[in-house]
Chains A and B, each alone.
Chain A
């Protein structure tokens, strides 16, 4: 019988019905991949399962016992552990890695609130070992924020596993992980499956699902559209997931090769230890940079944008010297960046679409300093229309939109005119497939219109979808630089793996 069974789970926020009756079974020792575009109801379902939202209607049973969850503690007591996508909602800054690994036990007073860190280390080590992490004591003693984002996620995973859950819910667990780290995660997931844990694995990434899942369920508009067992019919799954949008996604595109060099990098070093290199970005083509976490993608992006100038090296833009010491200087030269971490680096909490969109070019709606609200809202509506943002009005809050729509706003706001260089750092993170295709198309149009576009991502397929030219960045150094038609996916992947 099913370990975890959901029957007709419904959930609404006011009159906004998000889950319209979800029924799902997950067996012990089974990995169920849950797929769905943004807004399909995945996040809400996860929050219902983890007790963040109390169950409104329907039943959830675990090993035959109904779950009566009034809060996250009840869900946890029933054996449901969740690793949420947002890492900063899980780790506790200011505490050490060891304390974070043991945080729930400390919070539940299973471990002493006050005590020497040394006394916690053995327990912390065993929690870390549950995920196959062999971290030395000096790592466990560090503040958790000193870890990279991928390691922080591993802390959360290890913590969840230490509770020996019956059901483990993983919400896009690889979105911040490098390939090697993701591989480690997959191994753990497989071991847990063998150990009889039921796993719900939420992801956008087909490769991972193909590798891990025993079954897939596709959620759309708040209900399960289809379930499949192996072998998977991916086109059908895509269609179930995207509805009619899927039909127009896979149009073949032609590769463009730019001729005019817009931005020249000379002797640039991304890290103090890494070698210097030259790089030319050309107008009329989309340059994709693939690199794992820590390969130097964001260093490259911020160097070009002046967010964090290159320590070594020089640049020329359209033949004249270019060395921005701040983003404002880059913007003045029509070099723009969409940063990697949307929530922390692009969004203003509570701000409307119109205000978020007008921020970089506020002067355009405030000649002589006085804001013209009507014009600002009209400009906001232009972004909404041009980028197919799903929103009722330009006065709606951006943070209430889905991830894909948020991203469209923060990309779209730069594209009032024709930029010289447009840098997009992980533009598809937390973005559903439909929005990803829309964004890709826009970036390609941008390049076709005469801009140099630079897309940086850790996912090979995401880059290949949008790029004309692809560069593999390994440890701060471009390793492969070729037009996409001249390389195979395998070549790219093996280049990435050369050092790893």
Chain B
């Protein structure tokens, strides 16, 4: 990954000469993350526990997975606003499958992932075939998905023992194997953290080491030049949205497993967090483009901050301020300090 980027500086502007500014842009974010971590660990006893570290990463896992999905759509020059809604839908579908229809966890997982892919495919259809701009299409699908999930449950949260339409009681419950997604460990590591790790490696490999990832970056960098180089631009944009839908559904599965009931408001706040960490991710390594590690690091940084500040006694409502400031800092790195201005963020944010 480093080879091309190291050489990516303009001619006559080698890294050695670029000075503190390039170094700050490239490593500033990581340095701040490490410094914050050291500060919290040094001042708070409880922060030093390995269990705190893992619960922090676990806390960040849902946002990280959704952020990875958003990253994929940003790579092709778009943005998916429906990720939070899809994650919320996944919670409801999981609950309906297990609680109302009393199916096993595996069925819920399969249905959720299928639904995620389906929403992704619909987004792709709207954007690629019907030529609706990405933001607007996914804004619409976000609303539709948020509303659609309420229909079969009459706008009610789903929980065991609730009264159904026909007057009977819901017989099923979240199965232990499904609940284990969020609660089980692999050695000392919580399963959601393992899932994020695997997804991050897979996304990084896909984006930077495979033909398809490269072509997705090409489509994002200049769709017309890509088309005229023989790239089937529509396919790669569609692929990004379908994958994003699946990622959002996967994030929703972890969320459902964490909540343990069909909370209808679940996922509502995730969109902004996911987009924010993906944007933070474009600046984390100074790459100036969406990338898998940056997004995950962005989610981890937000996780560290929020966990640390919570332990320090900051009120919960300060969290959004902190997230906003982190995003602002990232944008400063991307736009104000970097000579290579980010090409992705502005188009995506307008």
A residues lining the B interface (CB < 8 Å): 13-16, 305, 307, 326-328, 330-332, 337, 339, 344-352, 354-355, 359-360, 362-363, 366, 369-371, 373, 392-393, 395-397, 400-401
Shortest C-beta distance, A57 to chain B (Å), equals: 18
B230 near A331: Cβ-Cβ < 8 Å: yes
Q: List, in ascending order, chain B residues with CB within 8 A of A352's CB.
A: 4, 7-8
- Chain A, interface SS category: mixed
Convert B208-219 into 0s and 1s, putting 1 for each residue whose CB lies closer than 8 angstroms to a CB of A: 011110110010
- Out of B7, B8, B222, B343, name the residue touching A347 (CB < 8 Å): B222
Shortest C-beta distance, B29 to chain A (Å), equals: 20
In this complex, the member of B231, B232, B289 whose beta carbon has the largest number of chain A beta carbons within 10 angstroms is: B231
Q: List, in ascending order, chain A residues with CB within 8 A of B229's CB.
A: 327, 331, 346, 359-360
- Out of A16, A307, A339, A393, name the residue touching B12 (CB < 8 Å): A16
Q: List, in ascending order, chain B residues with CB within 8 A of A326's CB.
A: 227, 232
- Out of A360, A366, A396, name the residue touching B11 (CB < 8 Å): A396
Q: Counting CB contacts under 8 A, is B13 at the interface?
A: yes
A371 in contact with B214 given A15-B17, A16-B11, A397-B11 (CB within 8 Å): yes
Shortest C-beta distance, A160 to chain B (Å), equals: 28
Within 8 A of A (CB), among B190-204: none
Q: List, in ascending order, chain A residues with CB within 8 A of B12's CB.
A: 13-16, 400
Shortest C-beta distance, B243 to chain A (Å), equals: 15
Cα–Cα distance between A13 and B227 once the two chains are bound (Å): 35
Within 8 A of A (CB), among B16-72: 17
A395 near B225: Cβ-Cβ < 8 Å: no
Residue of B nearest to A331 (CB): B230
Q: Counting CB contacts under 8 A, is B183 at the interface?
A: no
A366 in contact with B218 given A13-B13, A14-B13, A401-B11 (CB within 8 Å): no
Which 10 residue pairs across A and B have the least CB separation, nearest first?
A: A16-B12, A395-B7, A331-B230, A400-B11, A366-B211, A348-B221, A400-B10, A360-B229, A359-B229, A328-B230
Residue of A nearest to B343 (CB): A349
A369 in contact with B228 given A348-B222, A396-B7, A401-B11 (CB within 8 Å): no
Residue of B nearest to A336 (CB): B230
Number of contact residues on B: which range applies? 20 to 34
Cα–Cα distance between A331 and B230 once the two chains are bound (Å): 6
Q: List, in ascending order, chain A residues with CB within 8 A of B214's CB.
A: 355, 362, 366, 371
Residue of B nearest to A346 (CB): B225
A350 near B8: Cβ-Cβ < 8 Å: yes
Cα–Cα distance between A395 and B11 once the two chains are bound (Å): 11
In this complex, the member of A305, A354, A362, A400 whose beta carbon has the largest number of chain B beta carbons within 10 angstroms is: A362
Convert B229-241 into 0s and 1s, putting 1 for each residue whose CB lies closer than 8 angstroms to a CB of A: 1111000000000
B230 near A330: Cβ-Cβ < 8 Å: yes
Cα–Cα distance between A369 and B206 once the two chains are bound (Å): 9
Q: Counting CB contacts under 8 A, is B166 at the interface?
A: no
Cα–Cα distance between A330 and B227 once the two chains are bound (Å): 11
Please give 4 more A-B residue pairs, beta carbons under 8 A apart, in addition to A14-B17, A400-B10. Answer: A345-B228, A359-B229, A369-B210, A397-B11
Q: List, in ascending order, chain B residues with CB within 8 A of A369's CB.
A: 210-212
Q: Counting CB contacts under 8 A, is B319 at the interface?
A: no
Q: Counting CB contacts under 8 A, is B3 at the interface?
A: yes
Residue of B nearest to A338 (CB): B228
Cα–Cα distance between A332 and B10 once the two chains are bound (Å): 34
Cα–Cα distance between A360 and B17 once the two chains are bound (Å): 34
Cα–Cα distance between A244 and B275 once the two chains are bound (Å): 55
Cα–Cα distance between A363 and B210 once the two chains are bound (Å): 10
Q: Counting CB contacts under 8 A, is B320 at the interface?
A: no
B227 near A307: Cβ-Cβ < 8 Å: yes
- Out of A332, A339, A393, A401, name the residue touching B228 (CB < 8 Å): A339
Q: Counting CB contacts under 8 A, is B340 at the interface?
A: yes
27 example contacts (A-B, Cβ-Cβ < 8 A) are as follows: A14-B17, A15-B12, A307-B228, A327-B228, A328-B231, A330-B230, A344-B225, A345-B224, A345-B225, A346-B229, A347-B225, A348-B225, A349-B221, A349-B222, A354-B4, A355-B4, A355-B214, A359-B226, A360-B230, A362-B211, A363-B211, A366-B214, A370-B209, A371-B209, A371-B214, A373-B4, A396-B7
Cα–Cα distance between A127 and B215 once the two chains are bound (Å): 46
Within 8 A of A (CB), among B62-110: none
Q: List, in ascending order, chain A residues with CB within 8 A of B227's CB.
A: 307, 326-327
Shortest C-beta distance, B235 to chain A (Å), equals: 9
Cα–Cα distance between A359 and B9 once the two chains are bound (Å): 20
Q: List, in ascending order, chain A residues with CB within 8 A of B230's CB.
A: 327-328, 330-332, 360
B17 near A359: Cβ-Cβ < 8 Å: no
Shortest C-beta distance, B306 to chain A (Å), equals: 33
Q: List, in ascending order, chain A residues with CB within 8 A of B209's CB.
A: 370-371
Q: List, in ascending order, chain A residues with CB within 8 A of B6's CB.
A: 395
Q: List, in ascending order, chain B residues with CB within 8 A of A347's CB.
A: 222, 225
Cα–Cα distance between A229 and B330 once the two chains are bound (Å): 57
In this complex, the member of B17, B210, B227, B228 whose beta carbon has the largest number of chain A beta carbons within 10 angstroms is: B228
Cα–Cα distance between A396 and B9 once the two chains are bound (Å): 8
Shortest C-beta distance, B206 to chain A (Å), equals: 9
Cα–Cα distance between A14 and B15 once the two chains are bound (Å): 12
A346 near B13: Cβ-Cβ < 8 Å: no
Cα–Cα distance between A307 and B228 once the two chains are bound (Å): 7
A393 near B7: Cβ-Cβ < 8 Å: yes
Q: List, in ascending order, chain A residues with CB within 8 A of B11's CB.
A: 16, 392, 396-397, 400-401
- Out of A346, A362, A370, name the residue touching B215 (CB < 8 Å): A362
Q: List, in ascending order, chain B residues with CB within 8 A of A397's CB.
A: 8-11
Q: List, in ascending order, chain B residues with CB within 8 A of A14's CB.
A: 12-13, 17
Cα–Cα distance between A71 and B68 once the two chains are bound (Å): 42
Q: List, in ascending order, chain A residues with CB within 8 A of B226's CB.
A: 348, 359
Cα–Cα distance between A463 and B144 once the two chains are bound (Å): 57
Cα–Cα distance between A393 and B12 once the two chains are bound (Å): 13
Shortest C-beta distance, B133 to chain A (Å), equals: 16
Cα–Cα distance between A208 and B343 once the two chains are bound (Å): 38
Cα–Cα distance between A240 and B228 once the two chains are bound (Å): 38
Shortest C-beta distance, B231 to chain A (Å), equals: 7
Cα–Cα distance between A346 and B226 once the two chains are bound (Å): 7
Residue of B nearest to A17 (CB): B12
Cα–Cα distance between A350 and B341 once the two chains are bound (Å): 10
Residue of B nearest to A330 (CB): B230
Q: List, in ascending order, chain B residues with CB within 8 A of A362's CB.
A: 211, 214-215
Within 8 A of A (CB), among B272-300: 288-289
Cα–Cα distance between A317 and B208 once the two chains are bound (Å): 37
Cα–Cα distance between A344 and B224 once the two chains are bound (Å): 7
Residue of B nearest to A18 (CB): B12
A350 near B228: Cβ-Cβ < 8 Å: no
Residue of A nearest to B6 (CB): A395
Shortest C-beta distance, B234 to chain A (Å), equals: 9
Q: List, in ascending order, chain B residues with CB within 8 A of A351's CB.
A: 221
Cα–Cα distance between A331 and B229 once the two chains are bound (Å): 8
